[in-house]
Every structure is written in C-alpha cells, then in structure tokens.
Amino acid sequence: MSTDGAINKKGKTVNITGSLSMIGYGLAVIGSAIGVAMIFRALIESTARQPEARTAIFGPAMIGFAVVEALAIFGFVLVFLYH
C-alpha cells in the first residue's frame, strides 16, 4: 500500500493535486470585493446625506478603491510568482 497520498475511510489512497495558491487568491478576491463594496456604500451614503460635499468625498473614495484593487492585482501576481 502506497503512502504517497491521503488515505480515505475505505482504506484507498487518494492523490491530491493542484495548488493551494488558487484558494488563497480566491479568498483575496472575496476580500477585495467586500472592500470595494464598503467603499462605494460609504460614498453613496455620504453623498445622499450631504450632496454638496460630493467633490470633497469622491477623490479619497477613488484612492481607497485604487488601493483595494491594487492589493487584489498584487495577489494575482503572487499566484503566478509562487506557483
């Protein structure tokens, strides 16, 4: 009996192949999507409460959006670097 893979309940060896980096990137994408949603939710809510402050709020919201997206892209690059 080979011990190269995991042994399931029936005593058979199951080989697990693939890369866990894809799971990590999937989690990073979920985090990025939540971050973008929170940024734009706050932007819409603050614009609805005080419409005259839209120009002052829009710039920092776009910077936050860019940072969150840059982190997602950075995670995407790391998947291929360490694959």
Domain boundaries, the chain: 19-81
Provide the whole-model pTM: 0.67
Given 3.40.50.150, 1.20.20.10, 1.10.3470.10, 3.40.640.10, which CATH number is that of 19-81?
Answer: 1.20.20.10
Distance, in Å, from the CA atom of 70 to the CA atom of 59, rounded to the nearest integer, reads 16
> pLDDT averaged over the chain?
83
Side chain identity, residue 43: L
Predicted confidence (pLDDT) at residue 83 exceeds the cutoff of 70: no
Pairwise pLDDT comparison (1 vs 22), residue with the higher score: 22
Predicted confidence (pLDDT) at residue 8 exceeds the cutoff of 70: no
Distance, in Å, from the CA atom of 53 to the CA atom of 32, rounded to the nearest integer, reads 26
Distance, in Å, from the CA atom of 38 to the CA atom of 65, rounded to the nearest integer, reads 10
What's the token pair of residue 55?
């120009």
Predicted confidence (pLDDT) at residue 59 exceeds the cutoff of 90: yes
